[in-house]
Structure 1
Amino acid sequence: MVEIGNNITGNTSALCANDFCKIANYIWIILSPVIFVFGLTSGFLMILVLVRIKFQRSPLMFFIFVLTVTDISILCVGLVRIWILETWDFDIRELSDVSCSIFHFLIYFLMQYSSWILVFVTLERFIKCKYIMYKSLITMKKCTYMVISVFILLAALNSHYFWTHSFVITENNTTSCNVTPGYERFDDWYIKIDLFILCVIPFCIMLSLDIIIMKSLKAARTFRRSSIAAPQVYNRMKKMDRKLTKMSVITNSYFLVSTLPVSLLFILTVYLNSAAEPLYSIFTLCGSIVYTLQYSNYAVNYVFYTIYDKRIRKELKRILRIAKPRFVQQGSQYTLRSSSMETSQSLSATSTNVSIRSISGNVT
């Protein structure tokens, strides 16, 4: 792991040479580019799709758009920095005192912001499922206010990084990006606060709303069974309900698994002497695993929430040209028409030749 508690460390392979640290270093070097390329490619494709389907007209698509931009920013700010550090032993945060503060602020702020955008996505689905007056309760104006309000609130909450983290003189008389002296206790407490803002509170809200959604869908399915005569219509609606339930279970489970271990590991490093061996090597390996898992969440976040949307799949197929282009069909039709025309022309020419020969024979 690159960060152990308050100690901002360097390249893991340079700090310890045992097998745990080497494995951790290989995880970062190999998996980081894969996650980054996948997340960046799918993210920009998703933005293109959302722009083409006019995301600003749908509250859900608007939240997905904000989520996609936020998750791409997390990958660029956090994952790229760690990959550069593990590959070339160069930390971008060490460039200046300003970069030290900004990178700490951005990574905490963006990760928390992404979690609360997911809460808004679940809230939108809940209101749409539970209330008939959905369009009057969730308007684009209200959604914009919600996104901006949480943005300002979380930015203010994490603004302390601009004075609690800076260049600090180490024991070797060198400067390092670390906690400003006098704020060590505050930083230890904020790690616990971050656990609740990033993971616990958002997960509890999303889980509660999803449980209510699934109960509402079950009640609606029971009502449809007695009111809908056609079994085909009922089975189709039942299949859609199962897809929504499956999506909710997968997204909530992956969110918890990818965000909770990182926060718990940080809290453990506060109470344990993580700088001493063999704990340092163990924390280094565990950190690389849980951090990679967390960044993978930001690479597939929006994919989970849009994979069941027919409009997005259809537009994505058009962009990737998975669906058969129209001009090919037109070309094939044109080929069939031209072939039939050529056949008819050859048949008419043959009949004409036969007629001429019969006429010439009669004349003779």
Structure 2
Amino acid sequence: MSNSTNTASDSLVVAYYPFTLVIVGTSLNILTFVVLCRSTFRDTKKQPIIHYMRTIAIFDILMLYGWNLDHYLQAVHGYVLLTYTIATCKIFGFLNYFAGQSSAWLRVFICLDRYLSISRLHRTWFSREKSVLIIIASVITILTLFNSHFLIFTCYYRPSGRISPNSPLYIIYPLWDYVNLGVYNFAPFILMVTLNSGVIHHLYRRHQTQLIQNSRINHRAISITLVITTCLFLIMTVPATIASAFSDIPPPISVKILDPVLYTYHILSFPLYFLTFKEFRQECIMMFGCSKNQHRVRPTLTATHTGAGITK
């Protein structure tokens, strides 16, 4: 009796946690986007990194409506969007890979922006507003084309009348899971570690030689923030992607446990920004009317501080 009760409880958690992620994650990412559109962050010429952060908030929302939502629908309602209709099969088959890959590579370019801002005395091409918009558009375009075969060649009716998410011309699953492992996890993680290590190295050197005596950058805070972001990406996304790529069908319990952990990563932007990004935290406090001061002194982010100026 006890075992059956525990099994029922576990199944309930597995079913409703993804749905909770959809509600909470959508709310937090929308809130993140709204805060980043407020007055402090509107001068995107001085702080073009804000464009990355806004776009990531949108893709992190989309990320929650693919396989994550399917986990809930399958457990509670007995169907998944991936095989519900031909249209949903194509759209969500594409979205499952496109959203995560876009989110990961935009994070890579944030790391690149931080590295160039702290390691160069003058603003580089990558740190200009127009260039950032070009990079974002290029990332989206390239990954759209990279995954466009889902919209063209996949999904067909089997003789039994059921929808297959594969292609009649070639086998997509698990081939694209292996590809996704490199594009979504390994390549971004290696680049993030390399760039963040460079940021920490330059911050340490500048601190030692006192080249930024009057800087508003909290060196310890930015170093900790970069390490936390990269470590969370490794811990929360890589195991789930590896397990999914090499798992059997139906997936084992390990995949059902690790998948929610992966999607949890994509709802953490708001709490991370709130805890480590001083200007973001101040905007949140002002937005919810929690500030005791009626007269507000608006924080100013310089181009260099934007690249590495997450203060605590």
- Indicate which of 97, 104, 108 corresponds to 1:108: 97
Give the structure-2-normalised TM-score. Answer: 0.83
- Indicate which of 304, 329, 343 corresponds to 2:272: 304
More moved, 28-37 vs 146-155: 28-37
- Indicate which of 5, 21, 40 corresponds to 1:35: 21
Letter in 2 for 1:56: T
In structure 2, how many angstroms separate the alpha carbons of the residues matched to 1:174 and 1:136? 54
**Residue 164 (structure 1) shift:** 4.2
**Residue 287 (structure 1) shift:** 1.4
Mapping for residues 1-364 of structure 1, pairs under 5 Å = 25-52=11-38, 53=40, 54=42, 56-57=44-45, 58-134=47-123, 137-169=126-158, 173-184=160-171, 186-224=172-210, 240-269=218-247, 274-275=248-249, 280=250, 283-301=251-269, 303-305=271-273, 307-324=275-292, 326=294
**Residue 55 (structure 1) shift:** 6.0
Q: Give the ranges of 4+ consecutive aligned residues of structure 1 lying more than 4 Å apart after TM superposition.
A: 18-24
Relative to 1, partners in 2 of residues 1:118 and 1:20: Cα closer, same or farther, differing over 3 Å? Answer: farther
* Cα-Cα RMSD: 2.7
1:24 and 1:289 in contact (8 A); partners too: no
Aligned to 1:333: none
Give the structure-1-normalised TM-score. Answer: 0.72
**Residue 182 (structure 1) shift:** 4.1
In structure 1, how many angstroms separate the alpha carbons of the residues matched to 2:208 and 2:153? 56
Relative to 1, partners in 2 of residues 1:214 and 1:294: Cα closer, same or farther, differing over 3 Å? Answer: same
Relative to 1, partners in 2 of residues 1:301 and 1:21: Cα closer, same or farther, differing over 3 Å? Answer: farther
Relative to 1, partners in 2 of residues 1:193 and 1:55: Cα closer, same or farther, differing over 3 Å? Answer: farther
Structure 1 gaps of 5+ residues are 1-17, 328-364
Relative to 1, partners in 2 of residues 1:324 and 1:149: Cα closer, same or farther, differing over 3 Å? Answer: same
In structure 2, how many angstroms separate the alpha carbons of the residues matched to 1:132 and 1:19? 62
SS at 1:326's partner residue?
coil
**Residue 212 (structure 1) shift:** 0.9
In structure 2, how many angstroms separate the alpha carbons of the residues matched to 1:178 and 1:299? 27
Letter in 2 for 1:114: S
In structure 1, how many angstroms separate the alpha carbons of the residues matched to 2:135 and 2:239? 28
Letter in 1 for 2:167: T
Residues 223-266 of structure 1: CA deviation (Å, up to 9, x unaligned): 129x96xxxx79x86xx111111111111111112221122113
**Residue 194 (structure 1) shift:** 1.0
In structure 2, how many angstroms separate the alpha carbons of the residues matched to 1:242 and 1:264? 33
Letter in 1 for 2:35: V
Structure 2 gaps of 5+ residues are 296-312
In structure 2, how many angstroms separate the alpha carbons of the residues matched to 1:262 and 1:164? 27
Relative to 1, partners in 2 of residues 1:43 and 1:242: Cα closer, same or farther, differing over 3 Å? Answer: same
More moved, 151-160 vs 28-37: 28-37
In structure 1, how many angstroms separate the alpha carbons of the residues matched to 2:290 and 2:125? 37
Pick the structure with greater CA Rg. Answer: 1
More helix by share: 1
Residues 135-185 of structure 1: CA deviation (Å, up to 9, x unaligned): 655111100110111111101110111244313427xx240333123422x
1:74 and 1:107 in contact (8 A); partners too: yes
In structure 1, how many angstroms separate the alpha carbons of the residues matched to 2:7 and 2:80? 18
1:117 and 1:147 in contact (8 A); partners too: yes
2:236 and 2:262 in contact (8 A); partners too: yes
Aligned to 2:301: none
Letter in 1 for 2:194: S
In structure 2, how many angstroms separate the alpha carbons of the residues matched to 1:51 and 1:127? 24
In structure 2, how many angstroms separate the alpha carbons of the residues matched to 1:181 and 1:285? 30
* Identity rate, percent: 19
In structure 2, how many angstroms separate the alpha carbons of the residues matched to 1:48 and 1:246? 26
SS at 2:64's partner residue?
helix
Relative to 1, partners in 2 of residues 1:262 and 1:38: Cα closer, same or farther, differing over 3 Å? Answer: same
